[in-house]
Amino acid sequence: MESFYTVNDYIKSRDFWMPFAPSMLDSTAHKYLVDYRPESTKAPHMITAYKATPLGLQHLRAALHQGDHTLRPQVVEVSDAPSYYRLISLFEKKTGVGAVLNTSFNMHGYPLVANPEQALMTFENSELKFLSLESYIISKK
């Protein structure tokens, strides 16, 4: 069984208390974020913190700050990222959760992955089991 810290153990190697962030559909943000008001403040860049609702505490545990139970969401709108919005929507249909874990793709101490060669290097030097690269899924033996 995978641990609660699988992503951190496999690739990030960050301190346990450093939270990841969720990407969530704009249509579900109000279910997960206390006082989310897109008419006055949107949250497209994972820089604004919100308290989690009770459902957010349940559904988004891996993306919560462990001390204060806040989230730094990326609220995704279909007009900004149609493919990503569709991916999260399909995940919601399958699981009932309108959000996914979002983290930068890089190993601790390395810059963000910016091209296929860097993605393959990161994959090869981490404990990740799969890599989705464009229309391909790469797996380790």
- Say yes or no: 48 and 88 in one domain: yes
19-76 residue pLDDT tens: 678 999 999 999 999 999 888 888 888 788 999 999 999 999 888 887 788 999 999 9
Nearest to 43 by CA among 35, 88, 106, 82: 35
pLDDT of residue 19: 61
Query: Do 74 and 128 share a domain, yes or no?
Result: no
Separation of alpha carbons 18 and 49, rounded Å = 14
- In this structure, the answer to whether residues 88 and 111 fall within a common structural domain is no
> What is d(CA 75, CA 45) in angstroms, rounded to the nearest whole number?
8
Q: What is the pTM of this model?
A: 0.74
pLDDT at 4: 44
- Please compute, for residue 42, the number of CA atoms within 13 A of its CA located in the half-sphere on the CB side: 10
* Cβ atoms 63, 55 nearer than 8 A: no
Domain hosting 124: range is 104-141
In this structure, the answer to whether residues 85 and 137 fall within a common structural domain is no
69-108: per-residue pLDDT in tens? Answer: 899 999 999 999 999 999 999 999 999 999 998 877 888 7
